[in-house]
Amino acid sequence: MAALIDQGKVTFEYKHFVVVDPVRSLWAAEAVECAGDQGKFWAYHEVLLQNQKTGTWSKDRLKEFGAQVGVDTKAFGQCLDGRKFKDKVAADIADGTKLALRGTPTFFLNGQQLPLNFETILQAVNEEVKKQ
């Protein structure tokens, strides 16, 4: 899949969708975008996944995660506290609500929801690429 993305044959789009703890999950979504501002989106995302059951995602905890992945902590804190990505996250959630999503992750290909099975997703993507 990464090769297809690198070759420009496929694009991958990530959208946030909150299903639990609306306040702290919103903060976490905004925090990952703030990390993305510094090229650390996926590293931060991974830390969130690793820590989703270890307690709450308070703003202080989210800032600690930023330090763990090596962001400029001052800029990260300003981004998170200033809610720089509030509108982007809200738009993503609105998109998910329109699609009647019930959970995450959810995958779509050309507007069609795919089963949550990597092999099926990869097969569908490869078939679509062959049509190009």
* The predicted structure's pLDDT at residue 89: 95
Q: What is the pLDDT of residues 47-82, one digit of tens each?
A: 998 998 766 789 999 999 999 999 999 999 999 999
* Structural domain boundaries in the chain: 21-98, 100-132
Length of the chain: 132
Q: How far apart are CA 21 and CA 2, in angstroms?
A: 32
Beta-bridged to residue 113, according to DSSP, are 108
State how far the alpha carbon of 57 is from the alpha carbons of 27, 73, 132, in Å.
8, 17, 43
pTM here is: 0.83
